[in-house]
Amino acid sequence: MRNWLKQHLNAIAHGPTPAQRGQSMLELALVLPILLLLLVGMVEVVVFIGRYLDLLDLTREAARFGSQHDPDITDLAAGNFPAPGNYDCSASNSYNFFYDTACVFSPPSDQIATCQQTTFCNGMNQYVPLDLTTDDVVITVFTVNDLDQDGHPIADQVTNIWPTVGYWALSDYDADLTHNANWTKDCHGNVVRSQPYYTASKINSVLEADGPQATAFVAVEAFYCYHQVLDLPVFTNVVPDPIQIDAYSLMPIPAANPTPTPDNP
């Protein structure tokens, strides 16, 4: 016992032997790259989650804006298109329910040197830079009536107030006419979907049978191509870069509630 204690005290006093130091360096060399990868991966994941949460907040703000307005009140001269000069979301020369709701996703004026006729700007999106050649915003108003609980509004062929296909997509009405229906594609241009997340059947599936039968909802869905901030091959070889983020929100819109038709006597 005394000999063991003496050897242990000598080891403490004189430090590790060369063999022990070499073993420690080898262990560090093996573990350090893994620790660095984990650290870098955590940074990338945190940024990705932050982008998703920012996008989710924007869909909520847009849905909240839409829920407080009437989708039937639209500048008929502009139809579903912004009037000339109205790509600037602060312009007051016309109003369009769908485009003005999507304006929540435009960057504020302090991030744009000049809000020109073709610039989507003067909104409240400070952190998620939308690329209108790949990203998209889809807005749909669903009505639920007393008869069949079916929701997609059909276009009035004269005023074209409602979207003719049952939804409104920013990519179809922005200044870029060469990149439409971005929401149907992934970030590499491949068509991956034919309908938004919220459809009439999905709305009907979540409604309670004994709930209000004359109501309406506005759904806002955002599609954003996230580019890895670190752009390391070790990750881009495993995770697609860019990768699409899809966030959505649903809120009631009282102004679009259908008016029940009284029964014939």
- Sign of the alpha-carbon dihedral angle for 234, 247, 91, 97: positive
Q: What's the pLDDT tens digit per position in 88-143?
A: 777 666 677 888 899 899 888 777 766 765 678 888 888 898 998 999 999 988 87
Q: What's the pLDDT tens digit per position in 162-186?
A: 444 578 888 887 778 889 999 999 9
pLDDT at 182: 94
Written in H, E and C, the secondary structure of 154-216 is CCCCCCCCCCCCCCEEHHHHCCCCCCCCHHHECCCCCECCCCCCCCHHHHHHHCCCCCCCCEE
pTM of the model: 0.77
Q: What's the pLDDT tens digit per position in 49-90?
A: 999 999 999 999 999 999 998 887 665 454 445 554 466 777
pLDDT at 157: 35
pLDDT at 247 over 90: yes
pLDDT > 90 fraction of the chain, expressed in percent and rounded: 23
Structure tokens that stand for 99 in this block:
């485009």
Q: Which residue has the tokens 């579903």?
A: 80
pLDDT at 246: 95
The domain spans of the chain are: 20-256
Q: In what order do the strands lie in the sheet with 168-169?
A: 168-169, 136-144, 215-226, 243-252
Residue 211's pLDDT band (cuts 50, 70, 90) = low
pLDDT at 116: 65
pLDDT at 97: 82
Residue 212's pLDDT band (cuts 50, 70, 90) = low
